């Protein structure tokens, strides 16, 4: 047994290179390493970053002492603590991934590991440059009160680096040296506590007094004040001198969250997401590792960072499917958050108005506690829901909005209130075809239609990003001006709104228009200032936003999400429509929700209109139990892909033939994936369905371990899959 701080003569090191197993090194004289130490390990001519691991937990072939190379260095950061090492092992085991791939999420920033350094930033002086070009003027106007690197300022000002360098030369911007690791601000738990309602107070008290491993579902209707309530748990965590982590499903939600957090705690929390620049990444990572970052808000990747003293995890909008990572280590951040809380022995709060069946089940079997907020804050009422039967009340030809919805929108505009139309389809039309020969535009790399984006004048593939200009003539038959758009996307709905209400100010909100926290902040500002009357948006607008003057929600096509029929299609539709409906009437004016459908009697629609969430969940849970589907059984998908379709098919067949016969496990396939080609790779799927009690990972590990395939074939295992494409 090794004691912390006791020097080892030799060390087993997991490097960040996923292709390598653990490697043994000699610890040179004078270097002190312990499990968790971050070290520099030589390999051939290279130097790899790695983490020292308990040798007894990681079998490796024994190498004689005399053949060991010495470690090249010890990185000056705190060792990765034992609970996080256990989480890394668990994640690698559960999701059948290399430990190195998980370590890369713990140590994602090589700059964070470098020695501290100074950084040059720039800020405006009061000098007006002699030659004031429009670009220079724009830069000067937008940079008032700002400071940052040239790159950061260029982004804010939306001008090129060259323009800013010009401004430095003429003295309109000045350089200042800053410490890259200047301290992060400290949130004050007593800065501006809210007056909680008695119901909120009781909930906040339960959350704030939780200790040890304690998973809690915070189940509150939309607008009940879940954020205000879990802020009190954060305040308690701060008072105890510990760090808190808040996971959000979308980086677009970060900006409104930062504002609310600042109002409550007096300064911004540390933010962690893919949009950070390397200097910010380094500063935040080091603040997290030193314990100085008291509260971190981030996307799922923030989950694996080495918090020195973590006291609380919150998963906001915990039902969101985007917590599932679909590439690399295919983990579900909600589930890993609970595991991290378990290893750290701390509470974890899953906050949502529409809990996933899996989460609800954990409450039912007594594994999670539930704290409920059944009513909206300040007497705001939940919106009234009605279905519009499109077979009885059809839109005009070539239109998508039923007369009833149009009349409601008119009334809302007249009343000076805001409306939201929800359609989960980006672009103008999901399919373009030639009216003359019927040719359909398909992505050259994927089994997917090209989607017309009229605003950008492009056809785009939503799977691989391939874009092309819309051709004037059909490439198949050569007929000119023969292309027709089929079906609606948000841009087409926005056109319809413009035709119906020429004076209404419309905004389209999708990942094409809101692609950064700054864009999201601008959208929120424009809504609050009532510069927008009608929002047309995808699932991006269904989450988190709070617009008091938004009183009407129209769901353009409630049947859309039910197509394809994967395991969670009904549940997801229910959550999505409940969430978008939850944007209506959050202030003192009541909200109305209209759901357009061809089948008002479908269970999802009927439950939504009746406001019968418990009934829907009970029926859905019963169906899952009946079919032994998650959470009552397990699924894992094996996706085999190659640029060569015959090779993908042959490998998939070989893998399927090698499947072991195990009681309680069934193997389906291989079959071409619904997305049979993706980014130029042909894909085959095998689906494994297993009983709850079976260690399906162990079975799959042995099974795949005994099969070989060519280097051009990729085999990815997706444990607890959310995508069935």
Residue ranges in contact with ligand ADP by CB under 6 A:
194-197, 200, 220, 222-228, 377, 546
Contact partner, 466, from Zn ion, ligand ADP, none, Cβ < 5-8 Å per class:
Zn ion
**Closest distance between ligand ADP and the C-beta of residue 230, in Å?**
8
Closer by beta carbon to ligand ADP, 129 or else 587: 587
Closer by beta carbon to ligand ADP, 543 or else 568: 543
**Closest distance between ligand ADP and the C-beta of residue 377, in Å?**
4
Answer whether 50's CB lies under 8 Å from 14's CB: yes
Answer whether 521's CB lies under 8 Å from 268's CB: no
Closer by beta carbon to Zn ion, 69 or else 463: 463
Closer by beta carbon to ligand ADP, 317 or else 571: 317
Tokens of 256: 């409104």
**Closest distance between ligand ADP and the C-beta of residue 610, in Å?**
21
Instruction: Give the C-alpha separation, 527 to 505, whole Å.
Output: 11
**Closest distance between ligand ADP and the C-beta of residue 463, in Å?**
32
Q: How far apart are the first and last CA of the chain?
A: 47
Closer by beta carbon to Zn ion, 72 or else 675: 675
Contact partner, 194, from Zn ion, ligand ADP, none, Cβ < 5-8 Å per class:
ligand ADP
**Closest distance between ligand ADP and the C-beta of residue 226, in Å?**
3
- Enumerate binding residues for Zn ion (CB under 5 A): 443, 445-446, 461, 463-464, 466
**Closest distance between Zn ion and the C-beta of residue 461, in Å?**
3
Which contacts (CB < 8 Å, 24+ apart) does range 366-369 have?
Answer: 367/215, 368/215, 368/216, 368/217, 369/206, 369/214, 369/215, 369/216, 369/217
Contact partner, 223, from Zn ion, ligand ADP, none, Cβ < 5-8 Å per class:
ligand ADP
Closer by beta carbon to ligand ADP, 228 or else 292: 228
Contact partner, 224, from Zn ion, ligand ADP, none, Cβ < 5-8 Å per class:
ligand ADP
Contact partner, 226, from ligand ADP, Zn ion, none, Cβ < 5-8 Å per class:
ligand ADP
Closer by beta carbon to Zn ion, 329 or else 446: 446
User: Residue with CB nearest ligand ADP?
Assistant: 225
Instruction: Give the C-alpha separation, 460 to 442, whole Å.
Output: 10
Tokens 């190498």: give the residue.
Answer: 63
Q: Beta 592-597 vs 550-555: how paired, if at all? A: parallel
Q: Beta 295-298 vs 270-272: how paired, if at all? A: parallel
3-state secondary structure of 580: helix
Instruction: Give the C-alpha separation, 639 to 715, whole Å.
Output: 6
Closer by beta carbon to ligand ADP, 167 or else 235: 235
Contact partner, 436, from Zn ion, ligand ADP, none, Cβ < 5-8 Å per class:
none
Instruction: Give the C-alpha separation, 231 to 265, whole Å.
Output: 9
Read off φ and ψ for residue 633, nearest 5 degrees.
Answer: -145, 175
Tokens 């829901």: give the residue.
Answer: 385
Task: Please name the residue ranges forming H helices in 277-402.
Answer: 278-290, 333-344, 357-364
Provide CB contacts within 8 A for 663, sequence distance 6+: none
Contact partner, 446, from ligand ADP, Zn ion, none, Cβ < 5-8 Å per class:
Zn ion
Contact partner, 102, from Zn ion, ligand ADP, none, Cβ < 5-8 Å per class:
none
**Closest distance between Zn ion and the C-beta of residue 714, in Å?**
17
As beta bridge partners, residue 638 has 686, 717
Tokens of 305: 């960072």
**Closest distance between ligand ADP and the C-beta of residue 228, in Å?**
4
């Amino acid at each position: 047994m090794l004691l912390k701080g006791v020097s080892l003569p030799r060390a087993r090191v997991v490097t960040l290179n996923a292709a390598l197993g653990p490697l043994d090194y000699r610890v040179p004289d004078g270097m002190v390493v312990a499990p968790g130490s971050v070290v520099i390990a030589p390999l051939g001519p290279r130097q790899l970053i790695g983490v020292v691991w308990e040798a007894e937990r990681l079998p490796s072939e024994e190498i004689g002492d005399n053949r060991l190379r010495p470690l090249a260095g010890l990185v000056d950061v705190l060792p990765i603590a034992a609970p996080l090492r256990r989480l890394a092992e668990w994640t690698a085991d559960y999701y059948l991934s290399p430990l190195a791939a998980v370590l890369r999420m713990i140590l994602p920033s090589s700059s964070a590991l470098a020695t501290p350094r100074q950084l040059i930033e720039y800020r405006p002086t009061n000098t007006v440059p002699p030659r004031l070009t429009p670009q220079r003027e724009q830069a000067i106007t937008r940079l008032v009160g700002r400071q940052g690197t040239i790159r950061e300022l260029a982004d804010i000002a939306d001008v090129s680096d060259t323009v800013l360098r010009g401004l430095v030369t003429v003295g309109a911007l000045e350089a200042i040296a800053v410490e890259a690791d200047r301290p992060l601000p400290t949130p004050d738990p007593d800065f501006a506590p809210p007056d909680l309602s008695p119901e909120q107070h009781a909930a906040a008290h339960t959350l704030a007094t939780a200790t040890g491993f304690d998973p809690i579902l915070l189940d509150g209707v939309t607008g009940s004040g879940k954020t205000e309530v879990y802020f009190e748990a954060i305040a308690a965590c701060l008072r105890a001198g510990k760090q808190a982590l808040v996971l959000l499903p979308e980086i677009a939600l970060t900006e409104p969250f930062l504002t609310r957090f600042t109002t409550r705690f007096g300064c911004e929390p540390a933010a962690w997401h893919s949009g950070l620049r390397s200097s910010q990444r380094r500063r935040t990572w080091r603040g997290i590792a030193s314990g100085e970052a008291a509260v971190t808000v981030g996307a799922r990747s923030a989950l694996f960072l080495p918090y020195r003293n973590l006291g609380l995890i919150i998963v906001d909008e915990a039902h969101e499917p985007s917590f599932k990572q679909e590439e690399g280590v295919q983990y579900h951040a909600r589930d890993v958050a609970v595991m991290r809380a378990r290893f750290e022995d701390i509470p974890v709060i899953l906050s949502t108005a529409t809990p996933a069946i899996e989460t609800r089940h954990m409450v039912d079997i007594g594994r999670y506690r539930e704290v409920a907020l059944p009513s909206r804050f300040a007497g705001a009422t939940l919106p009234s829901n009605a279905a519009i039967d499109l077979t009885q009340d059809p839109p005009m030809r070539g239109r998508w909005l039923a007369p009833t919805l149009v009349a409601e929108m008119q009334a809302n505009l007249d009343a000076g209130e805001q409306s939201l139309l929800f359609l989960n389809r980006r672009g103008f039309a999901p399919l373009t075809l030639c009216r003359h020969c019927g040719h359909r535009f398909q992505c050259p790399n994927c089994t997917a239609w090209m989607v017309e984006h009229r605003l950008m004048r492009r056809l785009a593939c939503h799977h691989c990003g391939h874009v092309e200009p819309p051709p004037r003539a059909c490439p198949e038959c050569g007929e000119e001006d023969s292309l027709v758009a089929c079906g609606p996307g948000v841009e087409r709905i926005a056109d319809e709104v413009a035709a119906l209400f020429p004076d209404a100010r419309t905004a389209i909100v999708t990942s094409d228009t809101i692609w950064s926290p700054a864009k999201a902040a601008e959208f929120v500002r424009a809504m609050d200032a009532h510069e927008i009357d009608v929002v047309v948006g995808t699932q991006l607008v269904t989450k988190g936003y709070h617009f008091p003057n938004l009183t009407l929600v129209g769901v353009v096509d409630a049947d859309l999400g039910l197509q394809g029929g994967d395991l969670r299609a009904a549940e997801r539709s229910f959550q999505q429509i409940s969430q978008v409906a939850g944007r209506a009437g959050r202030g003192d004016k009541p909200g109305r929700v209209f759901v357009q459908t061809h089948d008002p009697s479908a269970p999802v629609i009927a439950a939504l209109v009746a406001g019968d969430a418990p009934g829907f969940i009970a029926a859905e849970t019963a169906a899952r139990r009946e079919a032994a589907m998650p959470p009552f059984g397990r699924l894992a998908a094996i996706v085999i892909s190659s640029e060569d379709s015959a090779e993908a098919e042959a490998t998939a067949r070989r893998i399927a033939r090698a499947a072991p016969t195990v009681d309680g496990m069934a193997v389906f396939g291989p079959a071409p994936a619904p997305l049979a080609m993706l980014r130029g790779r042909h894909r085959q799927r095998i689906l494994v369905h297993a009983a709850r009690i079976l260690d399906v990972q162990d079975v799959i590990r042995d099974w795949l371990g005994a099969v070989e395939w060519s280097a051009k074939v990729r085999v990815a295992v997706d444990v607890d899959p959310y995508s069935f494409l």
